[in-house]
Amino acid sequence: MTQNATDISTPVSGAATVKVWDIFVRVSHWTVTVAFFIAYFTEDDILTLHVWAGYTIGVFVVLHIVWGGVGPKHARFSDFMYRPFKVWQYLLKLISFRAKRYLGHSPAGGAMTFALLIGLAATVWTGLELYAAEENAGPLASISRQITPVVHSEAALIAYARADDGNDRDEKHGKDDGGLWEDLHELLANLTLTLVIIHIGGVLLASIVHRENLARAMVTGRKRAE
């Protein structure tokens, strides 16, 4: 791969490095990381913080998707979109310490990027639905009010009317509104956290195999040129 002279530098250690990750990719990566853990560990305890962390994730996911189409070479989806067999083959070689080094995302890294974007987007979406159903707030609140009569079946309304007392009715109504979204939101959040943990493990393993600090590269934007 040909690099411009301005992209290559030689640090004090003597190893030539090359610019790989642009500023948006780095800022997006660490911002979403921090926001996800804030959202995960606050939940209903600090709802405002939880909600704004979710908004932050949602905005950066959308921007990252756009950047994946128009950004620099290594930020584009086309640069790390591999077939499933290629991803599996890379993983097998990685655990046997024989994997090929990629300047941008490896096949496994690319697959994880797509998985995380999908997981984060789905988690944010269900969070917005839950926020609209339970708090009647957020960008989906008006939509939720319009579709609620359709979502609640006639059977659900009959069961609501037959509840033993007012408290039971209120509890059932709340469950009908937000119960499904709450379950989905928690499930997706936990699945996304699992992906994050796997991602961290994969980064550590790849750093050892390729003798390169990949986490630091996501801070500086530079990787070993060779």
- What's the gap between Cα 75 and its chain centre? 16
pLDDT at 145: 57
Instruction: Report, as an integer, the average pLDDT of 11-26.
Output: 83
90 has pLDDT over 60: yes
pLDDT, one tens digit per residue, over 44-61 is: 779 999 999 999 999 999
Percent of the chain with pLDDT over 90: 72
pLDDT, one tens digit per residue, over 182-207 is: 999 999 999 999 999 999 999 999 99
Please name each of the domains of the chain with its CATH number: 5-224 (1.20.950)
Instruction: Report, as an integer, the average pLDDT of 113-124.
Output: 98
pLDDT at 169: 44
SS3 call for 8: strand
Choice among 10-19, 169-178, 210-219 with the minimum mean pLDDT: 169-178
Phi and psi of 212, rounded to 5°? -150, 135
Phi and psi of 11, rounded to 5°? -70, 180
SS3 call for 164: coil
Q: What is the pTM (predicted TM-score) of this model? A: 0.81
pLDDT bucket at 43, cuts 50 / 70 / 90: confident
Instruction: Report, as an integer, the average pLDDT of 92-117.
Output: 97
How long is the chain?
Answer: 226
167 has pLDDT over 90: no
Calpha distance 198→207 (Å, rounded): 14
More confident residue, 28 or 169: 28
Q: Which residues pair with 223 in a beta bridge?
A: 18
Between 107-135 and 141-151, two packed helices, what is the crossing angle to 10 degrees? 80
